[in-house]
C-alpha cells in the first residue's frame, strides 16, 4: 500500500478542449503505456467528439455493441400504432431471435394493445426535525404552501411540472416524494434541480427544519423498490393481448392450459422468492432497447420491475398482460441525440418532442412478446415431457 498521491497518475485531459479525436487518442496512448491494452477498435467511432459534452467525461472511444432487429411488432397503442422494427443492442445469442419469435406470435394474434396509465418522475428529499411532532406540523405546512413550493420548483425548469408531494413519516423525519411530469425527458436531472430549488425555498421559509437531504432512498433512482412499483416512477405502462389457443399450438408447441399452469407456479415462486417481477425476463428486451436508443441504461434496475397477469379464458384463449410500473424512457436529452442512438429512435419514429409515450408503448409491447416467447420455450420442454408422461401409462 505504498501508493501515495505523489505517484498517482490521473487520466490526462486537454485543458483547452477535451472533446477532440486528439484528446481521445492522448488518453488511449496513456492507457496503452500503462496497461499494454491495444484499444484499436474502441478508437473506431464515426462521429465528432464535439457532440459529447454533457454525455461523458474523459472520452476515449466507443463500445461497439452489436445491433439486431426484431419485427415487425404490431402495436395498437394510443401513440404507437402499426408495425415497428425494433433495434436491440446485445451480445447475448438468441435474444433477438426470441423476441422476433414472440413478435411473430403476437402478429398472428392480432397485435399488442398498449396504454400508458401513469407518468411521474420524482426526487425525494427527507426533512429532519426535533421530534415527530414538528415533522407532522411540517407535513401540514407542505400542503398549505404547495403553490409556493411548486412555483419555486418550476422556476428552474421549462418542462417539469410539480404534480404533488407525497409524505411518508417515520421517527423525527418526514420523507417526501416530489412528483413531476417531465415532458419527453426522463427527467432525473430536471427534477433534481427543481427539488433543490424547492428545498431552498422551504428551509428559507420554515425555520424548524433541522436538516434535510435531497435524497434518502424514497425515489430509488436506479434501484428497484416496492414504493416505485406501487406509486410509479417514469411511465406506468400496460401491454395486453389475447392469443388464440390455436395460434399457440401452431407456432409455439404449447397451449394455453400448460402456459397458464406454468404461470400459476411462477407466480407463487415469485411471491416466495421476493422477486420484483413475476414474469420471465423483461430486462432482456428493455436493456437491448435502452442501449440502442440512448436511454440511461442503469435505469434497467427499476425498469425491470414488472407485473404479469394472465387468464385462461373459457374458450381456451390466453389473455396476457405485462404492467411495467417504473419504466424510465426519454426521446429527448441524455444519450438520445447521439448518432447511432438517434438513428435507432428514428427507426421507431420516436426521436424528439412528443414521442416519449410512443416509445414507452413500443418498449412494453416488445416486452410482452419476449415474455410469451420465453414462457412458451420453458413450457415446450414440458410439452414434450407431458406427452412422454402420458405415453408412460400406455403399454
Active site residue 92: yes
How many Cβ atoms sit within 10 Å of the Cβ of residue 377? 18
Out of 23, 80, 121, 126, name the contact with a copy of itself by CB under 8 A: 126
Q: Cα–Cα distance between 245 and 257 in angstroms, integer? A: 9
Residue 294 binds a copy of itself (CB under 8 A): yes
Q: Quote the least distance from Cβ 364 to a copy of itself, whole Å.
A: 10
The three cell numbers locating residue 12: 490526462
Q: 145-164 mask for a copy of itself (x: CB under 8 A)? A: --------------------
Q: Cα–Cα distance between 282 and 366 in angstroms, integer? A: 9
Q: Quote the least distance from Cβ 48 to a copy of itself, whole Å.
A: 11
Active site residue 296: yes
Residue 29 binds a copy of itself (CB under 8 A): no
On whether the CB atoms of residues 135 and 169 are closer than 8 A, the answer is yes
Residues forming a β-bridge with 89 = 67
**Distance from chain centroid for Cα 169:** 28
Q: 182-211 mask for a copy of itself (x: CB under 8 A)? A: --------------x------x---x--xx
Tell me the window of 144-152, 153-161, 235-243, 352-360 that interacts with a copy of itself (CB under 8 A): 235-243
Out of 141, 201, 206, 307, name the contact with a copy of itself by CB under 8 A: 307
Q: Quote the least distance from Cβ 183 to a copy of itself, whole Å.
A: 18
Cα-based distances in Å from 160 to 155, 182, 253: 9, 4, 48
Which long-range CB contacts under 8 A does 273-280 form with residues at least 24 apart? 276/224, 276/229, 276/304, 276/305, 276/306, 277/304, 277/305, 277/306, 277/307, 277/308, 278/306, 278/307, 278/308, 279/306, 279/307, 279/308, 279/322, 279/371, 280/308, 280/370, 280/371, 280/374, 280/375, 280/378
Q: Quote the least distance from Cβ 76 to a copy of itself, whole Å.
A: 7
Cα-based distances in Å from 281 to 55, 203, 252, 325, 371: 29, 44, 18, 15, 7
Out of 22, 48, 50, 53, name the contact with a copy of itself by CB under 8 A: 53
Out of 21, 244, 316, 339, name the contact with a copy of itself by CB under 8 A: 339
Residue 191 or residue 220: which is nearer to a copy of itself going by CB? 220
Out of 14, 29, 48, 92, name the contact with a copy of itself by CB under 8 A: 92
Q: Which of 240, 296, 302, 371 is catalytic?
A: 296
Out of 238, 328, 368, 372, name the contact with a copy of itself by CB under 8 A: 238
The three cell numbers locating residue 143: 400542503
Out of 206, 253, 297, 316, name the contact with a copy of itself by CB under 8 A: 297
Q: Reduced to 3 states, what is the DSSP secondary structure of residue 91?
A: coil
Going by C-alpha positions, the residue among 279, 304, 308 that lies closest to residue 290 is: 304
Q: Which of 92, 148, 208, 388 is catalytic?
A: 92
> Could you tell me how many residues of this chain bind a copy of itself (CB under 8 A)?
173
Out of 22, 58, 143, 146, name the contact with a copy of itself by CB under 8 A: 58
Residue 66 binds a copy of itself (CB under 8 A): yes
Out of 296, 317, 361, 371, name the contact with a copy of itself by CB under 8 A: 296
Active site residue 58: no
Going by C-alpha positions, the residue among 42, 41, 101 that lies closest to residue 70 is: 101
Tell me whether strands 318-327 and 234-243 are parallel, antiparallel or unpaired. Answer: antiparallel
Residue 191 or residue 340: which is nearer to a copy of itself going by CB? 340
Residue 45 binds a copy of itself (CB under 8 A): yes
Catalytic residues: 92, 296, 387
Amino acid at each position: 500500500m505504498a501508493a501515495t498521491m505523489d505517484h498517482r497518475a490521473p487520466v490526462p485531459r486537454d485543458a483547452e478542449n477535451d472533446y477532440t479525436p486528439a484528446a481521445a487518442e492522448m488518453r488511449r496512448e496513456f492507457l496503452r503505456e500503462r496497461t499494454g491494452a491495444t484499444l484499436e477498435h474502441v478508437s473506431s467511432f464515426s462521429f465528432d467528439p464535439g457532440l459529447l459534452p454533457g454525455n461523458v467525461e474523459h472520452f476515449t472511444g466507443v463500445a461497439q455493441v452489436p445491433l439486431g432487429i426484431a419485427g415487425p411488432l404490431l402495436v395498437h397503442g394510443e401513440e404507437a400504432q402499426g408495425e415497428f422494427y425494433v433495434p436491440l443492442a446485445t451480445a447475448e445469442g438468441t435474444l433477438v431471435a426470441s423476441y422476433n419469435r414472440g413478435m411473430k406470435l403476437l402478429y398472428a394474434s392480432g397485435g399488442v394493445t398498449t396504454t400508458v396509465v401513469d407518468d411521474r418522475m420524482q426526487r425525494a428529499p427527507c426533512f429532519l426535525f426535533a421530534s415527530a411532532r414538528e415533522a407532522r406540523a411540517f407535513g401540514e405546512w407542505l400542503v398549505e404552501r404547495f403553490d409556493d413550493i411548486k412555483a419555486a420548483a418550476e422556476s428552474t425548469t421549462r418542462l417539469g411540472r410539480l404534480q404533488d408531494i407525497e409524505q411518508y413519516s417515520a421517527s423525527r423525519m418526514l420523507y417526501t416524494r416530489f412528483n413531476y411530469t417531465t415532458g419527453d425527458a426522463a427527467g432525473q436531472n430536471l427534477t433534481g434541480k427543481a427539488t433543490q430549488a424547492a428545498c431552498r425555498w422551504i428551509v428559507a421559509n420554515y425555520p424548524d427544519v433541522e436538516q434535510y437531504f435531497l435524497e434518502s432512498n424514497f425515489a430509488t433512482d436506479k434501484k428497484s423498490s416496492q414504493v416505485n412499483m406501487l406509486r410509479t416512477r417514469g411511465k406506468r405502462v400496460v401491454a395486453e393481448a389475447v392469443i388464440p389457443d390455436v395460434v399457440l399450438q401452431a407456432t409455439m408447441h404449447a397451449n394455453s392450459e400448460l402456459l397458464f399452469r406454468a404461470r400459476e407456479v411462477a407466480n407463487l415462486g415469485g411471491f416466495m422468492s421476493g422477486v420484483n417481477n413475476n414474469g420471465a425476463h423483461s430486462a432482456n428486451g428493455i436493456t437491448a432497447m435502452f442501449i440502442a436508443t440512448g436511454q440511461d441504461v442503469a435505469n434497467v434496475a427499476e425498469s425491470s420491475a414488472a407485473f404479469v397477469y394472465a387468464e385462461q379464458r373459457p374458450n381456451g384463449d390466453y389473455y396476457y398482460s405485462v404492467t411495467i410500473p417504473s419504466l424510465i424512457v426519454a426521446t429527448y436529452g441524455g444519450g438520445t441525440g447521439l448518432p447511432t442512438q438517434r438513428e435507432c429512435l428514428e427507426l421507431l419514429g420516436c426521436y424528439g418532442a412528443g414521442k416519449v409515450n410512443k416509445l414507452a408503448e413500443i418498449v412494453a409491447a416488445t416486452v410482452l412478446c419476449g415474455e410469451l416467447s420465453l414462457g412458451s420455450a420453458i413450457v415446450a420442454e414440458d410439452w414434450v415431457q407431458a406427452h412422454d408422461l402420458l405415453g408412460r401409462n400406455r403399454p
